[in-house]
Structure 1
Amino acid sequence: MIPPATAPAFLADAGWGNAAIVPLAGDASFRRYFRVIDGGRRAVLMDAPPPHEDPRPFIAIAEHLLQDGFAAPRILARDLEQGLVLIEDFGDLRIKEHLEEEPAAELAVYARAIDLLADLHRLPPGDVPPYDRAVYQREAGLLTEWYCPAVGLDVGADAYVAAWDAVLPLVEQSASPVVTVLRDYHAENIMLIDGDASHGLGLLDFQDALAGHPAYDLVSLLQDARRDVPVAVEAAMIAHYKAVASPPADFDAAYAVLGAQRNAKIIGIFTRLWKRDGKPRYLSFLPRMWTLLERDLAHPALAPVAQWFATNIPADQRHQALQEFVPE
């Protein structure tokens, strides 16, 4: 990755004029990240180019999380017109890589991540839009918009919407509190950092936060699109969340509904990343996503949606990575 041409001047204005700029990462969006090194100082440069990206939600939510005592990156400098933000560097130790090296630490690390969520869910939501029916439906609809055409399926799109309309009230009318939903809370977006604050966990990639049901981020963590979380670990961590957060009796059903909604969305997104954005590597995640979705659909609360899938997407159109559809 080549840094944007405006980066040197931006860094000079921020007091980092002599810093080296080293590629760090890209993600599934248009955002790119670079490590900025100046002697013993390190920071991260976020390149969020307009009009594709707007860094203001990230900045606002980071400042909100910091105010509430969570470890979000501090904002060191910003140029909103250029889409450049200099942020605190949390290092390189993500939960994902840590557990690859220390698999025996899995339960302990996930328990810390659950405890952080429980702390977040005790607080009123931030000033973010609601996770409402329109958003749920738009996201779930990515499956019929992208996956189904990619595998040559002509499905009942109106019946799909109606099936979700039948199950989403369970989430919307839940007795659970409305909380800040980070929406991408998983092992690649949670950093292990020094200190005891916020359970020693640093938060990333929360710019799309909404106000919604507390089960969503639990699903994001425990039904990880990019990492296999053993079923036994998922069950143990749900039990741990219940022990520390005391959610209402409808929590398991809401967890299943939101799991199915999120996994259907991700199947659509990963197909879109291949078809539209030329990133076929995301196809390798689809078998995991179908397995997770089918587990959620087995819950009785998902009966209308499960019936739609049984009718419209046969089993032989699911457990595949679409590799046969990738052009030579």
Structure 2
Amino acid sequence: MSQATLKDVAVHAGVSHQTVSNVLNDHPHVRPATRQRVLKAVAELDYHPNVAAKALREARITALCCAFYNHDADQIADPYRNLIQSSFVAEADLRGYTMNVAFLLGEQPETFDRLRQRFLQRQMGGSVIVGQNMTAQQWRTTREWGMSSVMFDQHFDDTLVNTVFADYRGGMRELVAHHAAQGRRDLALIIPLADPGSSGVERHEQFLASVQELGLRGRVVNGDWSFDSGERAARTLLQGDAPDAILAGNDRMAAGALLAAHQLGIDVPGTLAISGFDDFEFTLYTTPRLTTVRVPHEAMARAAVQDLLNLIETGEDQPARCFPTELVVRDSS
């Protein structure tokens, strides 16, 4: 359950926002009966003032944080992380804030403790959490601290607020339909099978649903989002009962699949179609250029920072935001 806001207290007590603020700040010109009514509402709603919001308004805190869950701090070559981190920083800077970075590890509770201490010590006013495979309980834990936070690229059925994500199901549906329209009947998907993150799960589930709906053969092989895993998975597929289309859960694995096909002498897109997901810049420079699904990561990242600042300032949960994806057809299919 979300924490009560100043607006909730005002409604409960039947007074204005300003009256509640005057009572909380011990303003002398408040009638005793009104003061008692407000304090009773505060107690009944278990309201706690948002100290981070107050500090931000008074210009004492000008830092935010982007916290990467189960990301390796040394993964500087990952285009996904680089793009969203730079977008977080750019949006924060535009609004007069700095953006620090933290790394949370599920098997190391002390990483969560350090983030909590940074918040309690007023080193930052709130955090965007990049947690594609963070659990709902871990997300709820960060909210229990009283820290304003927005979840990026992950959402939970029971927490459809303060989250920013993409329509991965819609993108995969379009991609499978595209391959079917090109006459492909035997499709294989490369995706991390053990990744609980909503983005991977939704791509996986929608692939299975779409091939069934269209009467296609569909199979799924494991990858780990890396170039190498895409190459290995594609090589295994192409040296056996080969499909006529390989769909990869991201562009990095798709680029690896392109390399495997080239090394095995398989014509793309003549014999085999290959597609990715994300539309990172390098897809324009593969041979052939990669068909993919565009995910608006930059716009999503900027929206996450905007929602975080609104949450800090108002103390009120922000509506979940789902961004549409777009099929981009190039030369590989």
Q: Same fold (TM over 0.5)?
A: no
Q: Kindly name which structure, 1 or 2, has the bigger radius of gyration based on alpha carbons.
A: 2
Report TM bin, short chain.
under 0.3
TM-score normalised according to structure 2 size = 0.27
